[in-house]
Amino acid sequence: MILVNQFWNFFSSVKLAIFTLCSLAATSIIGTIIPQGEPAAFYVKNYGAKTAHFLQVLDIPEMYYSWWFLGLLGILSTNLIICSFDRFPSVWKIITTDNLGITPERVEKMSNFSKWEFGTNKLDKIDLAGMLKQGGWKATSRKLGDNELFFCEKGRWSRTGVYIVHLSILVIFVGAIIGHFFGFKGSVMIPEMRSAQKVFGYKNEGTLQLGFEIRCNTFTIEFYDNGMPKEYRSSLTVLEDGKEVLTKDIEVNTPLTYKGITFYQSSYQGYQDFLLNITDKSTGDSKIFTLPFQKQMTWDEKDLHFGIINAEAVGQRVVRSKVWFKAGENPASIEWLADNNQATFVSGAKEYTISAKQMYATGLQVAKDPGVWVVYIGCGIMLIGLYMAFFMSHQRIWLYKKNGSATPELWLSGSANKNKMGFSKGFLELKNRIEHAVQR
C-alpha cells in the first residue's frame, strides 16, 4: 500500500509535469536543429564519426520515434491522468455543491461583503430577484425560517477548463498513435502519361500498395530568367478498375486527397524523352507519343513518320527541339519548336498541328494519417479548455434577506476563483444598484 501511495504521489506531482514539459521542449529544440531522417553518412560527414555514433546511440536522427522521447510522452500522459483523477473530485464537489446550504456566518465572513439595514416592511418591497436579474444574474432562493437566501453564479463549468486541456493532450496523443501505427509516409516518381499503384515508404517500409491507381496526365513548369524553377504543377487522375474517378491539378501547397491518402507536389525530374502531340486538322484525330531523342517513330494508321533530331537546352531544361516530320511519300519537313509550343506542318494536301515538350516525371510525397482528425478534434478541445481556464471564472453571489430581528438587514457577499479584480468591479456595480434601491 505504501508503494502504491508513493507511485500515486510521484505521478500526481506538479513538479513532475513541469520537468517533463521542460524536457520535451528542450529535446524538441535538438530535434529541430539536427536534421531528422537522414542517412548515417550524412551525420558522419557533418558531425564527425564519434558524434554521429553518439547521435545514433540516442536515436537523435529519429528522435521523435525514439524510446526515450516516447517515454517522456508516456510519463506526461500518466501524470496528466493521475493528476486529474487526484484533483478532479474536489473540483466536482465545488461544482455540484448546494450553495444555498451555506450558513449565514460564512456569508458574512467573505472578503466581498456589504450590509444594509432597513426600516420595518421596507425590505419586503424590494424585488431582490428582479434586481439580480437586471445585473445579469439568474437567482435561486431558499427560505430559512423568516429569512431568505438568494444565490446566483456564472462560469461554474470553467473550473473544468484545466482538465479539458488535459483531456485534449491525451486525445492528440491518441491521434498521433493512430497515425503512427495505421498510417504511412512515402514517395513516388510518376512520368507523364504513366501511372502508379504503389509508393516507396520511408524508414525501410518497402513498397506500399495504394489500393487504386494514380496517373500523371501532364506536368508543367515555369522558370525564372536565370533558369531556376518558378512554379510547377501536375495534373493527376485517380483510377479505380480502369475508370477515372477524380482529376485535379496539384501544386506545392495544393495537394490531392483520395480515400485518406494525400499526394503533395514535392519535386520533378526531366528526361531526354519528348512528348509529341500530333493533330490531323482535316479529321480532328489527335494522339500523343512518347518519343525518345533522335529516334524515329510512326503513326501507322496515318502513315506518319516523325522524330526529334536535335534540341537546345539550358542546364537540364530543353528550351527548343528540332522536329522532323514526314507524311506518306511526301517530302519531310523540319522545324524548330519552342518547348511546349505548337506549329502547323503542311504535307501534300493535309495540315497537321504538332507540339513538342520535354518529358518530365512528377515527384510526389504521399501520406496517409487516419489519426489526423483525432488530432484536430484534440486541438479544438484544447482551445475550448484554454478559453475556459484563462478567460472564464467561477463567480458566485449570495444575497441574504434577514428578517428575524428588530431591524431587517440585507447582506450581499460574493467570491470568484479567478480574475478577482474584474469580479470586484461587477460586485461594486451590484452593490450600487442595491444602494440605489435602498435610497428610494
Instruction: State the angle between helix axes of 14-33 and 67-96 in degrees (0 to 180), rounded to the nearest 10.
Output: 140
User: Which of 98, 36, 43 lies closest to 61 in space, CA to CA?
Assistant: 36
- The C-alpha cell that represents 72 in the structure block: 517522456
- Other Cβ atoms less than 10 A from the Cβ of 263: the count is 24
Strands 286-291 and 207-223: unpaired
Q: Which residue intervals of 268-316 are DSSP H helices?
A: none
Topology of the domain covering 97-153+399-439 = TATA-Binding Protein (3.30.310)
Q: Are 230 and 223 in contact (CB under 8 A)?
A: yes
The single-letter DSSP state of residue 36 is S
134 or 250, which is more confident? 250
Residue type (1 letter), 245: V
pLDDT (average), residues 204-233: 85
User: Lowest-confidence range among 4-8, 180-184, 373-377?
Assistant: 4-8
* pLDDT score recorded for residue 409: 85
What percent of the chain clears pLDDT 90, i.e. is strictly above it?
Answer: 43
Per the CB < 8 A criterion, the answer to whether 292 and 306 are in contact is no
pLDDT confidence bin for 216, thresholds 50/70/90: very high
Q: What is the pLDDT of residue 157?
A: 94
The owner of cell 518547348 is: 339
Q: How far is CA 306 from CA 131, 283, 358, in A?
A: 94, 19, 16
The pLDDT assigned to 377 comes to 96
Average pLDDT over residues 355-384: 93
Question: How high does pLDDT run on average in the chain?
Answer: 88
CA distances from 172 to 66, 82, 117 (A): 18, 18, 56
CA distance 125 to 439: 12
Q: Cα–Cα distance between 212 and 198 in angstroms, integer? A: 8
Q: Are 311 and 318 in contact (CB under 8 A)?
A: yes
User: Highest-confidence range of 165-169, 250-254, 310-314, by mean pLDDT?
Assistant: 165-169
More confident residue, 365 or 226: 365
Cell matching residue 81: 491522468
Residue 66 has pLDDT above 90, yes or no: no
Confidence of residue 189 (pLDDT cuts 50, 70, 90): very high
**Residues 220-227, mean pLDDT to the nearest whole number:** 79
Q: Is the pLDDT of residue 225 over 80?
A: no
